[in-house]
Amino acid sequence: MKNDEETLDPGDWSLSRDLAHQMVDDAVQHIADVRDRPVWTEMPDAVRAHFKTPAPGAPTPLGDVYDDLRKNMLPYSMGNIHPRFWGWYMGSGNFTGALGDFLAAVDGSNLGGGNTAAAMIDTQVVDWFKELMGFPANASGTLTSGGSMANLVAHTIVRNAKAGVDVRAEGIAAMPQPLRFYASDQVHSCHQKALETLGLGAKALCEVATDDHFRMDIPALERAIAADRAAGIKPACVIATAGSTNTGALDDLRAIAAICAREDIWFHVDGCIGAFVRIAPKNAALVDGIDLADSIALDPHKWLHTPFEAGCVLVRDAQRHFETFEMHGEYLQLQTRGLIAGKFLADYGFELSRGFKALKIWMSLKENGFEKLGRLIDQNIAQAQYLETLVRADPRLELVAPVDLNIVCFRFVDGITDEAALKALNTEIMLQVQEAGIAVPSDTTVSGKHCLRVAINNHRTRNDDLDLFLSEVLRIANGLVDSYRG
């Protein structure tokens, strides 16, 4: 009997198979050839217009859909998989991770929970991160979309632990005292967003002054805590930054841990950039004391090069973590047997349906081993030191911040002293380098000085990429500089 019910499965699997093989072949070539392409290319107007057509009602053969992407999407990507991409703070991805995302979708499991191998892999990845960070086996954690969500999860646990009331039932209005979170003035903006989201307000974040390496000033932290206590504000949490986004600054984790222990304050580490330095054999000491934290936010999609998205939060007190998020509708009751048995992963965060982002991390960790991933971190730090040496050696350039990790902040000066002119000149240099597809640096302002910022978080970068970049910066700058002199 003919069945006329519809499905999304293809009518002819052999066509799908051929097309899928083609996509894999092209993908391998796309990554193998990445060095030969411009880092970034501006989209022509026709391509922009192509993405503004109305929703398709009728079908298109998948082969045509794919051709469309080959032509209109792949040439205009961000470029962070390119060896000369050092803008903002990305990771550079890896092919195994791409296969992992594909296989995760093939498996199809929802990682909200369930008695599945996928859930075992999700849990194992978190267990591996606990092990790598020196956390006890009975700590907990959860994979998140990224570092912002990891920090939000941590701050929610802190708020509930320190509220002084059952804040899940009563809400923040019932809290007897306002809470304060302390962080250095280099803290990432996601923390303010998290505290705003949690109803604590931006004023719940106290930004503590930093020293000449942009590390939190420890006596200033102690003074801020004492002043708050005297004013009836409850010190809840110190957020230490292990690798700041601006300059790669590393707070003194041991000193902050000691203050938190003495003062009964939650010790959170934002390790989105630096936590994995702990697995880098030459530089692990930079994050000494991270294992003392009550919670850590880390970002596999940064220095482990997991394709986006993949973040993680680790929490020493598993019970508090569970009590913050545990919630089950009558349609989702746990059992001791069957498919819904075992630890329910959604009890550790906001999201119920969760993707299988663990698989791309798991595969890459297995394939490479954490020792190699750690050596790649050392390699990036050495490359930043190499670029620092080149900058210091050229009198036309000014190093704007100490290079304490993998971020180099510098600007082209060549005798110009007017800050506005320097900003305009260096912005133009940055844009021309980007638009020519040579490299992608970004920019920032450090101690009032606008500068180019090169964050080397890229397993494809070589020292000769930095040579090329700097010589192109100087070539472009020399052509521009006279029109910026007063």
Ligand X SMILES: *Cc1c(COP(=O)(O)O)cnc(C)c1O
Considering the complex, what minimum distance in angstroms separates the CB of residue 122 from ligand X?
18
Tokens of 344: 């329910």
CA dihedral 305, 306, 311, 314 (to 10 degrees): -80
Q: Check binding of 270 to ligand X (CB under 6 A).
A: yes
Q: Check binding of 404 to ligand X (CB under 6 A).
A: no
The string of DSSP codes covering 347-365 is GGSS-SS---THHHHHHHH
Q: Check binding of 146 to ligand X (CB under 6 A).
A: yes
Q: Check binding of 355 to ligand X (CB under 6 A).
A: no
Q: Check binding of 300 to ligand X (CB under 6 A).
A: no
78: phi then psi, degrees, rounded to nearest 5: -65, -35
- Choice between 291 and 299, CB closer to ligand X: 299
Q: Check binding of 269 to ligand X (CB under 6 A).
A: no
Q: Which residue is nearest to ligand X (CB)?
A: 147
Question: Cα(300)–Cα(334) distance, rounded to whole angstroms?
Answer: 30
Which 311-330 residues touch ligand X, going by CB under 6 A?
311
Question: Cα(384)–Cα(404) distance, rounded to whole angstroms?
Answer: 9
Question: Cα(146)–Cα(355) distance, rounded to whole angstroms?
Answer: 13
Q: Check binding of 379 to ligand X (CB under 6 A).
A: no
Query: What number of chain residues touch ligand X (CB under 6 A)?
Result: 13
Question: Cα(213)–Cα(219) distance, rounded to whole angstroms?
Answer: 15
Q: Residues of 252-275 as b/e, b for ≥16 C-beta within 10 angstroms?
A: bbebbbebbeeeebbbbbbbbbbb
Considering the complex, what minimum distance in angstroms separates the CB of residue 32 from ligand X?
27
- Choice between 148 and 368, CB closer to ligand X: 148
Tokens of 28: 């391998």
- Choice between 205 and 429, CB closer to ligand X: 205
Q: Check binding of 267 to ligand X (CB under 6 A).
A: no
- Choice between 114 and 289, CB closer to ligand X: 289
- Choice between 204 and 273, CB closer to ligand X: 273
Edge-first strand listing for the sheet containing 397-399: 397-399, 407-412, 449-455, 442-446
Q: Check binding of 273 to ligand X (CB under 6 A).
A: yes
Question: Cα(127)–Cα(119) distance, rounded to whole angstroms?
Answer: 12
Q: Which of 104, 206, 272, 381 binds ligand X (CB under 6 A)?
A: 272
Q: Check binding of 477 to ligand X (CB under 6 A).
A: no
Which 30-89 residues touch ligand X, going by CB under 6 A?
89
Tokens of 295: 């919670």
Compute and round to an integer the Cα radius of gyration of the chain.
25
- Choice between 383 and 406, CB closer to ligand X: 406
Question: Cα(225)–Cα(420) distance, rounded to whole angstroms?
Answer: 38
- Choice between 153 and 397, CB closer to ligand X: 153
Which 158-217 residues touch ligand X, going by CB under 6 A?
188, 190
Q: Which of 122, 228, 299, 465 binds ligand X (CB under 6 A)?
A: 299
Cβ atoms of residues 440 and 40 within 8 Å: yes
- Interaction site with ligand X (CB under 6 A): 89, 146-148, 188, 190, 241, 245, 270, 272-273, 299, 311
